[in-house]
Chains A and B, each alone.
Chain A
């Protein structure tokens, strides 16, 4: 497709095919059934995991001295630190970092359900936000190639409120079971009390219940407002006269504002919802790591929707060239995910400081299959396949890899949360799969409906012509 080759640009109105509707509903129903099965077996699996926890507690008792040493390192006043260490030495759950009175086995069985809602909510919230960030990046970078399928990330963005409400629900109901700092906050201890935790007390200015609910609510509200604004401008542009670039210019301004705000604040959401599961532990790169994990997932999902719409006979301006470039993005950010993953792991592995090590200790020793599987499915598989040019242009293979990446990155987020909340002995079960399927079905249904509400082609976008002639070369 070269210059001079004329491409006719026409508006398309997407009608959700019954087959797609059925697929989404089946996904939801199947997900609900599996969730039901998972819920019904919660009691049983809980007692099972109780045994597993007790077992590995016994196994790990030799690690206790290391954590005591860590308590000493933390206190500036040596004597106070010693007293601190003694207090903590009595706690039997010292092995996984100091967590006063926070025992996995004492949690209600329902905690697993709420933790799953937290994970699934975070996953889809980040997908919505990353889709919005995608739109903003295209505007700020003056990128033309992606204009032809611009409505896909726009439709994905409209899902933002749903997962956020789910997160809020999970957090409001079960925060003291999900976050040990929330449990600690609930105890209202002051210096000198038995079980007083200097680290958590020091973090309480940021890590408190008000912040956990208030800050993300404000941020998501602002982000979502900017997202609606960008979508509104894009839709109004469709109705405007050809050649009117005022909407485009306004979109660039809103995009720049959003991109800067989002770049600075996305980490905060990750700290509050995900990293604070291990409240004593911190990693400066954790926000980037979670963002990139979800960013590459979002690009995979955009690719899936584009391939689907193409197959259903829509998006006449999109060609193999666009799909190839989406594949390149998936490949590039797969490498970046591994880069960030290794950066976080390597520094902690090399420094070998107990207060940092326990994060990987539990994940490597008690969840070895998950730890290695996560790395293989999120990096090795997509890397080796997407390395080939033909894989990026052969749609069945690209779709297979994109689906693998969506699932594997869901596991990535799950793996950040579950060992932190429950300690050892958890595994992906019916409940995890069921809840993921339910929300995946809802997401597909929601996005397809959003796509059908407006024209599929941003007909008056100034870069549409450029996008139609996009060519990555021989």
Chain B
């Protein structure tokens, strides 16, 4: 799977049903009822993290930890290679008559390089995977989702009961219902 997640993109999608919410409790209830009704929720956009939403939506555990591990491993190997090349192989140095082979003085460099690569790597892959990397076009369903509104987006499928889905959103406190298709929004 491409690292830049196409699943998160809004381009080349079927018509989206959009519910706008003002309150996070309503949002959670709405999401829960949609999931219970067997509707596939494309995504929920909130201006701040809402605890428990990830569980309701059934989002799998992030693989960022594994990415971090390999970034750290890269940093560690980089540091060992660098110190070994500079200090042992290319130009052996005698500092304070310490041995050239692996010594405790290598550890801070190894530690720092590991931490540096882990931090940068995690930042980079997090933004890349979430389509927030510099240069990736912003795809925002509704500008207010970055301010004070929360938005549920449901992608329509063949044979889906749009009416009852919209009713479900409305019933759980949606303040606005919209449709989104090919970049055009219509208020319902």
Contacts and interface: CB of A to CB of B under 8 A. Distances in A.
B61 interface: yes
A350 B96 contact: yes
Interface stretch (B5-13, B49-57, B150-158): B49-57
A48 interface: no
Contacts of A473: 51, 54
Given A473-B54, A474-B54, A474-B62, A3 B104 contact: no
A243 interface: no
Interface string B12-27: 0000000000001100
Nearest to A339: B111
Given A2-B28, A4-B25, A350-B96, A474 B61 contact: yes
B105 A346 contact: yes
A474 B51 CA distance: 10
A469 B28 CA distance: 15
B59 interface: yes
A349 interface: yes
A474 B55 contact: yes
Interface in A328-347: 342, 345-346
Contacts of B28: 2-4
Contacts of B50: 3
Contacts of A345: 104
Nearest to B103: A349
A352 interface: yes
Contacts of B104: 342, 345-346, 349-350
B107 to A, nearest CB: 6
A346 B54 contact: no
A293 to B, nearest CB: 19
A2 B107 contact: no
A3 B29 CA distance: 10
Contact-size category for A:
10 to 19
B96 A2 contact: no
Interface of A: 1-5, 342, 345-346, 349-350, 352, 389, 469, 471, 473-474
Given A342-B107, A346-B105, A4 B54 contact: no
Given A346-B105, A346-B107, A352-B96, A3 B25 contact: yes
B65 interface: yes
B163 interface: no
A-B pairs, 8 with minimum CB distance: A2-B52, A471-B51, A4-B25, A474-B54, A474-B61, A346-B104, A349-B104, A4-B28
Contact of A2 (B56, B62, B65): B56
A342 B65 CA distance: 26
A3 B54 contact: no
B148 to A, nearest CB: 17
Contacts of B159: none
Nearest to A343: B108
A389 B65 CA distance: 10
Given A349-B104, A350-B105, A1 B65 contact: no
Contact of B60 (A342, A346, A474): A474
A414 B108 CA distance: 27
Contact of A350 (B53, B55, B59, B98): B98
24 contacts: A1-B52, A2-B51, A2-B52, A2-B53, A2-B55, A2-B56, A3-B24, A3-B25, A3-B28, A3-B50, A3-B51, A4-B28, A5-B52, A342-B108, A345-B104, A346-B104, A346-B105, A346-B108, A350-B98, A389-B65, A469-B51, A473-B54, A474-B59, A474-B61
Nearest to A345: B104
A145 to B, nearest CB: 12
Contacts of B24: 3
A471 B55 CA distance: 11
